[in-house]
């Protein structure tokens, strides 16, 4: 079985893109013609995937947007659509699950069997007992929350100063030497991003916070890229999904995805020269 890591690396290389396009379907922000349809969530996601697939190394649907609308079947169909129409472009399901024992096993079944995601985001707060059940699913990838992009993340993740939680997570993940284990590290904290890179040189990072949250792509690559200028997947959701909420939303999303893909390339090349 081909691993998630191999599929992701091939997609990044084949498209020369570090862009991850998030899928956050909000019906109230969709174009009127989509809102009026029978399946607005699926139709929006399908058309967003079509509009950006040429530039996206992967897609990242956020499960909450589907669950809030009772649209879990739309999530199943969206992931299936990516797999069928764009084979080789993996899907990361952003779920941030974190529990132990049989509950964790059921969450893993939900993400990897019911929804057929290629990878998922998970919380390490309960320790390895909350992570190991997902590793039982062959070929799947895991993105462990390390240092998140939200403004208030530091009160816990950067405490205590002498051995902050985010570094303990980074070092523990790196020590496993398991390529299936990757990390979520936010773009809005570039200094911490650099610390995590030094702690985990060979680990792949999923980097949210570019776009609507204000993270800067140059800082992401200067601080977070590995020695080869890679090891990063940079996510953007709202800035692409809702580049327009009018009937030109597909064209606007295409332009936003292409422009960000190009900015990521420039930032990578600049970081390689600078470092």
Q: What is the pLDDT of residue 215?
A: 80
Task: Quick: pLDDT tens for 118-135.
Answer: 999 999 999 999 999 999
Domain ranges of the chain: 4-274
For residues 33 and 27, give the distance between their C-alpha atoms in angstroms, rounded to a whole number: 11
Task: Quick: pLDDT tens for 32-86.
Answer: 999 999 999 999 999 999 999 999 999 999 999 999 999 999 999 999 999 999 9
| Nearest residue to 205 via CA among 2, 7, 8, 3 | 8
For residues 150 and 187, give the distance between their C-alpha atoms in angstroms, rounded to a whole number: 10
Q: What is the pLDDT of residue 2?
A: 85
Residue 10: pLDDT above 70? yes
Please calculate the CA angle 38-93-262 and round it to the nearest 5 degrees: 95
For residues 46 and 58, give the distance between their C-alpha atoms in angstroms, rounded to a whole number: 14
Contact call for residues 52 and 253 (beta carbons, < 8 A) = yes
Place of tokens 């985001």: 121
Q: Sorting pLDDT into bands at 50, 70 and 90, what band is 179?
A: very high
- Mean pLDDT, residues 101-111 taken together: 97
Contacts of 52 (CB under 8 A, 6+ apart): 21, 240, 253, 254, 257
Residue 214: pLDDT above 80? no
Q: What is the mean pLDDT of the chain?
A: 96
Percentage of residues of the chain with pLDDT beyond 70: 99
Q: What is the pLDDT of residue 212?
A: 66
| Nearest residue to 62 via CA among 208, 217, 233 | 208
Burial of 274 (0-12, 13-18, 19+ CB in 10 A): exposed
Q: Which of 26-30, 55-59, 209-213, 252-256 has the lowest mean pLDDT?
A: 209-213
Query: How many whole angstroms from its chain centre is CA 109?
Result: 20
Q: List strands edge to edge, sheet with 181-185.
A: 58-61, 19-23, 232-236, 205-207, 181-185, 141-147, 119-122, 92-97
Contact call for residues 232 and 205 (beta carbons, < 8 A) = yes
Q: Structure pTM?
A: 0.97
* Positions marked catalytic: 96
User: Taking the chain, what is the end-to-end CA distance rounded to the nearest angstrom?
Assistant: 36
Q: Return the CATH number of 4-274, one of 3.40.50.800, 3.20.20.70, 3.40.718.10, 3.20.20.150.
A: 3.20.20.70
């Amino acid at each position: 079985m081909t691993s998630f890591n191999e599929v992701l690396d091939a997609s990044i290389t084949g498209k020369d893109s570090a862009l991850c396009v998030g899928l956050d379907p909000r019906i109230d922000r969709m174009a009127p013609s989509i809102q009026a349809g029978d399946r607005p969530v699926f139709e929006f996601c399908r058309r967003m995937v079509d509009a950006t697939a040429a530039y996206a190394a992967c897609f990242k649907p956020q499960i909450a947007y589907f669950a809030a609308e009772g649209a879990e079947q739309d999530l199943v169909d969206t992931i299936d659509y990516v797999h069928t129409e764009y084979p080789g472009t993996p899907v990361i399901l952003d779920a941030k699950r974190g529990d132990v024992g049989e509950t964790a096993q059921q969450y893993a079944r939900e993400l990897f069997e019911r929804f057929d995601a290629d990878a998922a985001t998970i919380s390490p707060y309960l320790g390895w007992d909350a992570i190991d059940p997902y590793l039982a699913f062959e070929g799947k990838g895991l993105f462990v929350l390390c240092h998140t992009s939200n403004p208030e993340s530091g009160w816990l993740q950067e405490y205590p100063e002498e051995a902050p939680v985010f570094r303990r997570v980074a070092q523990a993940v790196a020590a496993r030497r398991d390529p299936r284990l990757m990390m979520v590290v936010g773009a809005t904290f570039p200094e911490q991003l650099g610390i995590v890179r030094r702690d985990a040189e060979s680990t792949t990072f999923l980097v949210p916070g570019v776009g609507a949250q204000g993270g800067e792509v140059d800082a992401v690559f200067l601080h977070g890229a590995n020695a080869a200028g890679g090891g990063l997947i940079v996510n953007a959701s709202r800035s692409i999904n809702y580049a327009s909420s009018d009937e030109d939303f597909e064209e606007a999303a295409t332009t936003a995805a292409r422009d960000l893909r190009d900015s990521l390339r420039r930032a990578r090349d600049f970081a390689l020269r600078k470092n």
